[in-house]
Structure 1
């Protein structure tokens, strides 16, 4: 690897569903996440439908930059690591989200705990105990880099789409405000006073320098 430790751990486990079993090549191992995530298109590939999901009230962040996300449901599926002659299979709960993503699924801390697995991000490997001893699963940094680039492009497009929606809302609000007629000012019954330009200020008490009150009077008034 040209940059050890700079790549995500992307593995290829097998997910077992009641109607179909599939081996997925883009499953992200994320030890910083406290849930397991299954994306809707992956659910479709497994032959699952919305009626197969259980309701959930979980709300989480980090999938869409700056936004929260609510799953459409949850489901329990078996996940298998290893080969046909030596593997380990465990049931896992997944939160199903209706989002586009560069991965097929995400396995967080609940999956690592269930398998008692140890991920090693520097060498892109994960180790766990199986019926016949140690199972080592190795990732490919090229696939990890490809997923990262796809994820970055997708995240950028999501941010642009959200900014476009916000801009459309602002423009619509501005147009709505511009369409509201401004009420005309009602004429005042009392005549307004406009002082003449030829005026001067005269102190009321010219003998006291600290006295600040004055009057404004015209310069063309008679001295009387």
Structure 2
């Protein structure tokens, strides 16, 4: 979760693990900053992916655009403000939780250190 960023970032290794061919990326010519401290990063491309949070009875699905980067990762993806706005989600960085409205109740996405 990165509420300070307007980017949704996915690492190329994660795209490979999902079985999505890199030929599905569409080109982007805009570099971004502050992902690699002190350096400019150029994405390999962008991809639109359907993302679902929740379980089989209470879920939300939206399409998000990810900038795909090819440098070593610590995470699978980083969700930015654009994701939060689309899902109407509220991140809590202290408890590493993301909450959003679902059709039946609040959806809570949890993680661990």
Greater strand share, 1 or 2? Answer: 2
Q: CA deviation at 1:91?
A: 0.4
- Number of positions where the alignment pairs a residue of Structure 1 with one of Structure 2: 113
C-alpha separation between the residues in 2 aligned to 1:127 and 1:97?
A: 27
The corresponding residue for 2:25 is: 53
- Give the alignment partner of residue 87 of structure 2, picking from 110, 115, 121: 115
Q: CA deviation at 1:135?
A: 1.1
Runs of 5+ in structure 1 lacking a partner?
Answer: 1-28, 145-224
The corresponding residue for 1:158 is: none
Give deviations 1:118-157, integer Å, cap 9, x for gaps. Answer: 11122322210111121122222xxx2xxxxxxxxxxxxx
Greater helix share, 1 or 2? Answer: 1
Comparing 71-80 with 46-55, greater Cα deviation is found at 46-55
User: Judging changes above 3 Å, is the alpha-carbon distance between structure 1 residues 50 and 123 closer, same or farther for their aligned structure 2 residues?
Assistant: closer
Greater RCO, CA 8 A, separation 6+: 2
Runs of 5+ in structure 2 lacking a partner?
Answer: none
SS at match of 1:78: strand
Backbone CA RMSD of aligned residues: 1.2
The corresponding residue for 2:97 is: 125
C-alpha separation between the residues in 2 aligned to 1:125 and 1:51?
A: 33
Give deviations 1:149-178, integer Å, cap 9, x for gaps. Answer: xxxxxxxxxxxxxxxxxxxxxxxxxxxxxx
C-alpha separation between the residues in 1 aligned to 2:85 and 2:19?
A: 27
Question: What TM-score do you get using the length of structure 1 for normalisation?
Answer: 0.48
